[in-house]
Structure 1
Amino acid sequence: MNSTAVELSDLQSTLRSSTQAYVGGIFFFFAISSSLYHLVYMGGERLYAVVKPIRYKWQTKMKVYVGISFVWILSLLSATVPAWFPGQFVYTYLASTFLYYPALRETSSNIDYSSAIAFMIIFHFLPFALLTASCLTTAAFVYNSGKRANKPTIGQRVASHNYKRKLSVMKTIAIMQTGFTITLIPILIANSLFYSGHLDCNNIAQPYMICFYFSMTNSLVNFIVYSTRDRNFRDEVVDIFRPGYLKKLAVPSSAGRTPAKAYPRK
């Protein structure tokens, strides 16, 4: 924070292609990829639960463990992809965000951004497209379930209850998808402006820092969405701020003692 522009430039040159840069850059993309891939996996699980509710309930825990493990492994592999192509990518330090990250290796005045664009499409845009597709498909099945529930049948009450549950799940997915999109758009715009030449190294620092950390709020948005959508959580939060809440938590001094025997009166 107290460094001059020259000192920051020297620091970036020193850390370029260093062990710190490789470890920090891989960890940075590992954090982003794991968050996105887990959302994709959760979106697929929700779609499976809506389309095949009986099979979803009967799936074993081991199957879920394998799916989550696959997400973590895929996140780690995708985070190391830039290290596989040292001729095109280099790990460096970005002072505006205080983070290490992979960047294109400048070999000439005409920089080819095709590799960076391909990397973003395969490991970021494609998972986001899958997440959106699962959200829309889930919405379609929920809508069709609602149409069937409105028909006068013997199990109308059960169908209506299931439809309300599915609708609640759909609302949660839609809010999550909206929050993820809103937090992601600014950083995509900043990168697009930089790659198109509207922003350069002299004026990209502050806009990129703001957009980058705004995108990092996605995890906070997910926590708020899942928490506020849960009725038990909302009721407990309201109960905390009611008078006398701490008294309810107080443990009586006689707690844990063996109760005295009650003898009948003669």
Structure 2
Amino acid sequence: MKPENLTMFNLSLCGIPPYCDYEAIRECWNTTIRDCSLCSNAGSDAILTYILLMATFIILGNSLVVASVLVIESKSRKTQDLVKTSLAIADMFTGLHLFAVCVPYIVLTPKLTFKELNDYVIVLRQSDLAKAMAPVLMFTYISSLYHLFYMSVQRFIAIYAPFTYRNQSRRSVSKHLAILWVILIVGSTFSLWESNYFQNFYRPEMFQFMTTVDPVAMGICIVLPYLVMSGLTFATACNARKRLQRSRSYRVDSAANRETSLLKVTFCMYLGFTVTVVPVVITNALQIGQYLTCDTVSVAIFATVHTSTLSGILNVLIYSAFDRTFRQTILKVSYRIRGKTESNSCRNSNNVRLRQFYARNHGQSTVKRVKSNDDVIKQGDVMNDVSKS
């Protein structure tokens, strides 16, 4: 078929690779995308590099989260550690999905002509591959949302019903998480249960498979949980200060500080999810309302969809910034990987603190006399002063 005879009746391509101008469909109908003058090879390489780096960081970062929980003794693990592990495992699916789906299609696309790409999109519609991969993409979205929803409920209970929250057993939280995973699996595969109503297809502008977006389904599965989560998060934040001050009056400062830290982590994760994922919903709504047309939708869809993958690594960065226990357990993991014992690291840490103490109180001449671990052990009285300071 000649390019000048193309119409929307025989053309299945609306979105195209984001590094191509939409006019390239007509100009390069029988020319490979790599050789098309209206497509950027540098843009294709940049996209591939970004996806590879993002997938690697997501998998490695969340693997550290899981490892940090595993190194904690079973009796010392808290209920929030179970939630943290569950969310990390769910986030790792995002990285695996990028490796399994996006990377191969990013590599394949420049080798095709627009005619071949058009035929490819038609063949893949409602194919077995599309039915297998589209639910995975849906899972990556709602898994973060529903885990954060559960964490918001937990923080809400911790502020308004602290006795009930502190008496939760790990077994009950495990049951909650098991139910959550069942909801995630059912929610992400709804297109398979209603195959006559929903369709699974390949979108070349995002190099992924997705399900047709229905406004009602999107409102029930995504928008409504997000609004409820927002209400719980802000209600908890508004009342947290008053409740925590009351807790301090009963001399439970450590518990109050721990709840404050957990609330900060949850609130930052909520903001991170909002910044990275909500634009995807807005972009799809604009496309449904036909505010985004075929010649403008590609860059917007790619940018929002693949910016949302940042949520998979953002949680790890938040833990590193606000969760001191996470940082300490990561150090334990690094010591074990390098074959070092924790006692040696503690002794080295005490050495540093002792030298700092001498530098502050006795000058550099005294520091020079404290050279070995034996010297440190002999300074028993000084060590007591250091521990008190």
Relative to the length of structure 1, the TM-score reads 0.76
Aligned pairs (5 A) from 1:205-224: 205-224=298-317
1:161 deviates by 4.8
1:247 deviates by 11
1:28 deviates by 1.6
Is 1:189 the counterpart of 2:290 in the alignment?
A: no
**Per-residue Cα deviation, 1:182-224 (whole angstroms, up to 9, x for no partner):** 1123223322321222212333122201110101211211111
Identity within the alignment, %: 26
1:20 deviates by 0.7
Stretch of structure 1 that moved more, 161-170 or 65-74: 161-170
Is 1:167 the counterpart of 2:260 in the alignment?
A: yes
Aligned pairs (5 A) from 1:29-68: 29-68=138-177
Q: Which secondary structure state, in structure 2, belongs to the residue aligned with residue 100 of structure 1?
A: strand
Distance of aligned partners of 1:203 and 1:171 in 2 relative to their CA distance in 1, 3 Å threshold: same
Q: Which secondary structure state, in structure 2, belongs to the residue aligned with residue 33 of structure 1?
A: helix
1:176 aligned partner:
269
1:14 deviates by 0.5
2:242 aligned partner:
144
Q: Which runs of 5+ in 2 are unaligned?
A: 1-108, 332-337, 345-389
Distance of aligned partners of 1:14 and 1:53 in 2 relative to their CA distance in 1, 3 Å threshold: same
Is 1:84 the counterpart of 2:193 in the alignment?
A: yes
**Per-residue Cα deviation, 1:200-259 (whole angstroms, up to 9, x for no partner):** 233312220111010121121111112211225557889xxxxxxx8977999xxxxxxx
Relative contact order higher in (CA < 8 Å, ≥ 6 apart): 2
Return the letter of the residue paired with 1:127.
P
1:125 aligned partner:
223
**Per-residue Cα deviation, 1:37-89 (whole angstroms, up to 9, x for no partner):** 11111221222223333332322222111110111110111112223333332
Q: Is the contact made by 2:148 and 2:269 (CA closer than 8 Å) also made in structure 1?
A: no
Residues in 2 aligned to 1:163 and 1:76: alpha-carbon distance in whole angstroms = 36
Residues in 2 aligned to 1:249 and 1:143: alpha-carbon distance in whole angstroms = 40
Q: Which secondary structure state, in structure 2, belongs to the residue aligned with residue 97 of structure 1?
A: coil
**Per-residue Cα deviation, 1:15-49 (whole angstroms, up to 9, x for no partner):** 11111111111122122222211111122122222
1:121 deviates by 0.6
Stretch of structure 1 that moved more, 9-18 or 140-149: 140-149
Q: Is the contact made by 1:15 and 1:93 (CA closer than 8 Å) also made in structure 2?
A: yes
Residues in 1 aligned to 2:339 and 2:210: alpha-carbon distance in whole angstroms = 51
Residues in 1 aligned to 2:343 and 2:178: alpha-carbon distance in whole angstroms = 42
Aligned residues: 232
Q: Is the contact made by 1:183 and 1:214 (CA closer than 8 Å) also made in structure 2?
A: yes
2:29 aligned partner:
none
Is 1:230 the counterpart of 2:323 in the alignment?
A: yes
Residues in 2 aligned to 1:248 and 1:187: alpha-carbon distance in whole angstroms = 45
Q: Is the contact made by 1:43 and 1:173 (CA closer than 8 Å) also made in structure 2?
A: yes
Residues in 2 aligned to 1:162 and 1:60: alpha-carbon distance in whole angstroms = 17
Distance of aligned partners of 1:206 and 1:61 in 2 relative to their CA distance in 1, 3 Å threshold: same
Q: Is the contact made by 2:148 and 2:266 (CA closer than 8 Å) also made in structure 1?
A: no
Is 1:9 the counterpart of 2:118 in the alignment?
A: yes
**Per-residue Cα deviation, 1:89-143 (whole angstroms, up to 9, x for no partner):** 2111111222111126xxxxxxxxxxx1111110001111122122122213313
Relative to the length of structure 2, the TM-score reads 0.53
Distance of aligned partners of 1:125 and 1:52 in 2 relative to their CA distance in 1, 3 Å threshold: same
The structure in which a higher percent of residues are helix is 2
1:22 aligned partner:
131
Q: Is the contact made by 2:124 and 2:130 (CA closer than 8 Å) also made in structure 1?
A: yes
Q: Is the contact made by 1:142 and 1:163 (CA closer than 8 Å) also made in structure 2?
A: no
The alignment's C-alpha RMSD in Å is 3.0
